[in-house]
């Protein structure tokens, strides 16, 4: 992938005599402005997740893990503080299960090391968060490689023209610690010389599709931005070969929670008998949720619909009101795509059906790796 001056990670980590340092790329300013923000306290990590300076299920998990280390730095002599730190971070966003997964992993790691003194415990928290970030990047690489094979097979069925793909929201490097989930196979295809074109849906109301368009532009991947509502037209006109999206949580029965609007694309894809792939690491799997009905759906602020954000002619960040306060507004952040509409899930362990037995095997593989 050739990126012009583009950071390939939404986080920067360093360690020096002065201590540990963590910075994030503020996604509330993208794609207009690249600004890095240091996170130095638990409140900073909480704020970054809550306000979506960082977003995307895997990245939320990674930042939450670092949030534990930041929290311990503020209370290094209090062994009982771990639960309180974890509870604060867990309350930031409800749908992405990677958040709870990462918090459980760091906390269990630290509880298994009761002999550590204050500073040693803090160091152990930083190391575990680093490990989670590194594993996420590795998982992205594996998802890319597995997904590439699927894309090659689809392309072989019509080698005369570029592969037409569609995605929703942003599941690229901005949403993870590596090359992304849904975008990883697309980047891998582009790198392998497979001609691809990506239909990118805007993803109202937060417009994460603009982040995807920006990522693809920087990587030189041909793409076209479209309104969310154009998806049905394009799919039913036969202008799409396959869809790939990410996931925020996958229930035991294979139902998938992802950015609101995903389900409508899956319904249109099923009507047209198109492959609908979900790309996600095993940390997105939640066996405590038997089905999508058990997945909490985040209801977001009405202001996301009442205002539109952008930059003005002077390139200054600006917000414009589009409707007044008198209107009732409903703004769910996610929807549930029934397992029956999902062709397969692309994981770091391979491509598996969105069905309970395959997901249970995946969960076992994940648990044995975490140990
Ligand atoms: O609200 P967001 O922007 O955090 O939602 C992100 C998504 O829904 C992504 O599609 C999902 O997390 C997969 S990210 C690799």
Our answer on whether the CB atom of 169 is closer than 6 Å to any ligand 1 atom is: yes
User: Is the distance from CB of 155 to CB of 194 less than 8 angstroms?
Assistant: yes
Decide: residue 141, CB within 10 A, 0-12 exposed, 13-18 middle, 19+ buried: middle
Give the Å distance between the CA of 186 and the centre of ligand 1.
17
Residue extents of the structural domains in the chain:
11-135, 139-370
Alpha carbon distance 238, 170 (integer Å): 23
Taking only the tens place, the pLDDT of each residue in 250-260 is: 999 999 999 99
Taking only the tens place, the pLDDT of each residue in 127-159 is: 999 999 999 999 999 999 999 999 999 999 999
User: Is the distance from CB of 128 to CB of 188 less than 8 angstroms?
Assistant: no
**According to CATH, what is the number of the domain 11-135?**
1.20.120.420
Per-residue pLDDT averaged across 77-90, rounded?
89
Our answer on whether the CB atom of 205 is closer than 6 Å to any ligand 1 atom is: no
For 123, the token pair is 């160091």
Instruction: Extract long-range pairs of 308-312: CB within 8 Å, 24+ residues apart.
Output: 309/207, 310/32, 311/32
Per-residue pLDDT averaged across 112-132, rounded?
95
Q: pLDDT band for 80, please (50, 70, 90 cuts).
A: confident
Instruction: Please check the confidence at residue 5 and state whether its pLDDT lies above 90.
Output: no
pLDDT of residue 368: 73
Q: pLDDT band for 7, please (50, 70, 90 cuts).
A: low
Choose the catalytic residue: 44, 228, 241, 248. Answer: 248
pLDDT of residue 241: 98
Mention every residue, 6+ apart, whose C-beta is less than 8 A from residue 112: none
Instruction: Please check the confidence at residue 4 and state whether its pLDDT lies above 50.
Output: no
Count Cα atoms within 13 angstroms, Cβ side, for 246.
Answer: 35
pLDDT of residue 18: 86
Best of 31, 49, 51, 57 for a ligand 1 pocket test (most atoms within 8 Å of beta carbon):
57
Our answer on whether the CB atom of 55 is closer than 6 Å to any ligand 1 atom is: yes
pLDDT of residue 166: 98
Q: Which fold has domain 139-370?
A: Rossmann fold (3.40.50)
* 77 assigned to active site: no
pLDDT of residue 79: 66
| Fold match flag (11-135 vs 139-370) | no
Taking only the tens place, the pLDDT of each residue in 13-30 is: 999 988 999 999 999 999
pTM: 0.95
Give the Å distance between the CA of 113 and the centre of ligand 1.
33
Q: pLDDT band for 6, please (50, 70, 90 cuts).
A: low
Instruction: Please check the confidence at residue 2 and state whether its pLDDT lies above 70.
Output: no
pLDDT of residue 126: 98
Best of 248, 279, 296 for a ligand 1 pocket test (most atoms within 8 Å of beta carbon):
248
Instruction: Please check the confidence at residue 243 and state whether its pLDDT lies above 90.
Output: yes
């Amino acid at each position: 992938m050739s990126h012009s001056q583009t950071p390939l990670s939404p986080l920067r980590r360093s360690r020096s005599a002065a201590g540990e340092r963590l910075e994030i790329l503020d996604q509330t300013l993208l794609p207009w402005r690249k600004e890095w923000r240091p996170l130095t306290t638990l409140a900073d990590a909480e704020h970054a997740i809550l306000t979506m300076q960082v977003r995307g299920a895997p990245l939320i998990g990674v930042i939450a893990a670092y949030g534990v280390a930041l929290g311990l730095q503020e209370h290094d002599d209090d062994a009982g503080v771990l639960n309180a730190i974890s509870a604060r971070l867990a309350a930031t966003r409800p749908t992405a299960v990677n958040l709870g997964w990462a918090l459980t992993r760091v906390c269990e790691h630290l509880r298994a090391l009761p002999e550590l003194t204050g500073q040693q415990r803090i160091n152990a928290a930083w190391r575990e968060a680093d490990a989670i970030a590194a594993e996420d990047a590795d998982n992205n690489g594996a998802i890319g490689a597995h997904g590439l094979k699927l894309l090659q097979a689809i392309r072989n069925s019509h080698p005369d023209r570029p592969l037409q793909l569609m995605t929703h929201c942003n599941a690229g490097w901005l949403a993870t610690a590596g090359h992304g989930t849904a975008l990883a196979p697309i980047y891998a295809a582009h790198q392998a010389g497979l001609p691809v074109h990506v239909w990118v849906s805007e993803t109202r109301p937060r417009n994460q599709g603009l982040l995807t368009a920006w990522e693809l532009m920087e990587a030189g991947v041909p793409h076209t931005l479209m309104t969310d509502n154009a998806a049905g037209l394009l799919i039913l006109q036969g202008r799409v070969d396959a869809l790939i999206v990410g996931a925020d949580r996958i229930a035991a029965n294979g139902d998938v929670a992802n950015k609101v609007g995903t389900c409508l694309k899956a319904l249109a894809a099923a009507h047209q008998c198109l492959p609908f792939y979900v790309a996600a690491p095993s940390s997105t799997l939640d066996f405590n949720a038997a089905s999508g009905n058990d997945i909490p759906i985040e209801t977001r602020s009405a202001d996301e619909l009442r205002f539109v954000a952008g930059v003005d002619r002077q390139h200054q960040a600006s917000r414009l009101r589009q409707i007044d306060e008198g209107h009732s507004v409903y703004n769910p952040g996610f929807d549930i795509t029934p397992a029956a509409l999902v062709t397969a899930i692309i994981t770091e362990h391979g491509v598996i059906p969105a069905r309970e037995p395959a997901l249970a095997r995946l969960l076992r593989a994940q648990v044995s790796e975490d140990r």
